[in-house]
């Protein structure tokens, strides 16, 4: 704190400052000390003897002569002097030290109270960080262990799946091979059986012609068998359409086989023998036999039109049979020798067996 004995600007009398300001403004002189200015004025002014004054008191000091500029000069001197500055600085430093001590005294309890809390928070933070690092390390180890386990499991599963797939493929292959063998065996057995059955059927159908021993006798036997099928069809009623259809199929097969044999063996032999006209006429008649069969296949066996068509067909076929057996084939058979007739018989059985 500043010493109260030190003169300051606030201690200068206000009235003296107001009186000194006009004089300083009028003169505009440079700042000089009051002593220098007084000396200058004393040197230039004329010497004047002052009037005798009463004797002063021996204990009262003599006052310095008053001038207009003495208060301002004294103020400037008091401000610019080093002694007052030093006097102000020391108390300021002392006050600063006092404030610092007081601040330290005031903040020490706070620091003492905060430091343990801060240390505790730091310890907890370090503990938490250590726990997090430990958890992360454990988690990483668990992940690595789990990944290794998954890899081993996946590898084992892949190996097991591959083995099962291999076994399944092998079993499938074996089963397929077995099934193929079974199927092929069954097919072969069926083929052999079918061939045997078909061969037996052919033999059975062609047997009567073969057993006849001669081509002309075989032709007459086949004619009788065809007419016997006509008799069986005519014996049915309209209530038996299935039986009529089955008999019609048998008649178609018998006549087709018979015509095939005659057209491939008998009629060519007749032409070679020299009866070309009769051979062509008989071939023409076979065309109408096939036409009758075609028409009957288009008629419902249960309809009323079925019997009239059967009757017309039988009439034409009987005329054709009579002409062959009575007029044309006897001269041919008589005109050939035994060897020639034997050759025609063998060829007729061969062609008949093809469609039997």
Can you give the pLDDT at residue 228? 97
Residue 126 phi/psi, 5° resolution?
A: -65, -40
SS3 labels along the chain: CCCCCCCCHHHCCHHHHHHHHHHHHHHCCCCCCHHHHHHHHHHHCCCCCCCCCCCCCCCCCCCCCCCCCHHHHHHHHHHHCHHHHHHHHHHHHHHHHHHHHHHHHHHHHHHHHHHHHHHHHHHHHHHHHHHHHHHHHHHHHHHHHHHHHHHHHHHHHHHHHHHHHHHHHHHHHHHHHHHHHHHHHHHHHHHHHHHHHHHHHHHHHHHHHHHHCCHHHHHHHHHHHHHHHHHHHHCCCCCCHHHHHHHHHHHHHHHHHHHHHHHHHHHHHHHHHCCHHHHHHHHHHHHHHHHHHHHHHCCCCCCCCHHHHHHHHHHHHHHHHHHHHHHHHHHHHHHCCHHHHHHHHHHHHHHHHHHC
The predicted pLDDT at position 81 comes to 53
pLDDT tens string for the chain (356 positions)?
444 444 444 444 444 444 444 444 444 444 444 444 444 444 444 444 444 454 444 455 455 454 444 555 555 555 555 555 566 677 777 887 887 787 777 667 766 776 777 777 878 878 777 776 777 677 677 767 766 766 677 677 778 878 887 787 777 777 767 767 677 777 777 787 777 777 777 787 788 888 889 999 999 999 999 999 999 999 999 999 999 999 999 999 999 999 999 999 999 999 999 999 999 999 999 999 999 999 999 999 999 999 999 999 999 999 999 999 999 999 999 999 999 999 999 999 999 998 87
Please state whether the predicted TM-score (pTM) of the whole model is above 0.85.
no
Nearest to 218 by CA among 229, 226, 210, 228: 210
Q: What end-to-end distance do the CA atoms of the chain give, in Å?
A: 154
Sequence length of the chain is 356
Q: CA–CA separation, 82 vs 62, rounded Å?
A: 28
pLDDT at position 163 is: 85
CB contact at 8 A, 247 and 229 = yes
Separation between Cα atoms, residue 145 and residue 12, nearest integer Å: 94
Q: 112-142 burial string, b = 16+ CB within 10 Å, else e?
A: eeeeeeeeeeeeeeeeeeeeeeeeeeeeeee
Q: Considering Cα of 79, then 84, then 89, then 91, what sign does the dihedral take? A: negative
Q: What distance lies between CA 72 and its chain's CA centroid?
A: 103
Q: What is the pLDDT of residue 12?
A: 42
Integer angstrom CA distances of residue 343 from 37, 96, 114, 221: 188, 160, 140, 19
pLDDT of residue 123: 84
Pair 233, 248: CB distance under 8 Å: yes
Using CA atoms, how far apart are residues 306 and 323, in angstroms rounded to an integer?
Answer: 26
Q: What is the pLDDT of residue 119?
A: 79
Distance of CA 23 to the CA centre of its chain: 108
Compute the C-alpha angle 263/264/266, nearest 5°: 70
CA 300, chain centre distance (Å): 62
Q: Are 84 and 75 in contact (CB under 8 A)?
A: no
């Amino acid at each position: 704190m500043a010493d109260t004995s030190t003169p300051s600007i606030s201690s200068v009398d206000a009235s003296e400052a107001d009186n000194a300001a006009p004089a300083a403004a009028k003169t505009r002189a440079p700042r000089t000390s009051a002593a220098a200015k007084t000396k200058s004025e004393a040197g230039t002014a004329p010497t004047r003897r002052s009037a005798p004054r009463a004797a002063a008191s021996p204990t009262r000091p003599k006052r310095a002569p008053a001038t207009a500029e003495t208060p301002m000069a004294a103020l400037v001197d008091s401000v610019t002097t080093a002694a007052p500055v030093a006097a102000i600085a020391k108390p300021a430093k002392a006050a600063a030290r006092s404030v610092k001590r007081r601040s330290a005294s005031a903040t020490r309890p706070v620091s003492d109270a905060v430091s343990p809390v801060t240390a505790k928070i730091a310890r907890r933070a370090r503990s938490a960080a250590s726990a997090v690092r430990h958890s992360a390390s454990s988690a990483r180890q668990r992940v690595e262990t789990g990944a290794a386990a998954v890899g081993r499991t996946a590898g084992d599963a892949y190996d097991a799946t591959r083995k099962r797939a291999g076994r399944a493929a092998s079993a499938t292959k074996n089963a397929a091979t077995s099934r193929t063998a079974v199927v092929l065996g069954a097919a072969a057995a069926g083929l052999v059986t079918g061939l045997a059955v078909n061969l037996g059927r052919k033999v059975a159908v062609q047997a009567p012609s073969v057993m006849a021993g001669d081509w002309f006798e075989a032709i007459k036997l086949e004619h009788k068998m065809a007419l016997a099928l006509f008799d069986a069809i005519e014996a049915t009623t309209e209530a038996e359409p299935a039986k009529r259809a089955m008999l019609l199929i048998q008649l178609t097969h018998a006549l087709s086989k018979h015509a095939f044999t005659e057209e491939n063996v008998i009629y060519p032999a007749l032409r070679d023998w020299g009866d070309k006209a009769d051979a062509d006429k008989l071939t023409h008649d076979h065309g109408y036999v096939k036409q009758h069969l075609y028409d009957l296949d288009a008629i419902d066996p249960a309809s009323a039109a079925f019997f009239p068509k059967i009757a017309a067909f039988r009439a034409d076929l009987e005329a054709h049979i009579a002409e062959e057996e009575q007029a044309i084939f006897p001269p041919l058979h008589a005109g050939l020798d035994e060897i020639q007739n034997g050759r025609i018989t063998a060829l007729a059985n061969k062609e008949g067996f093809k469609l039997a």
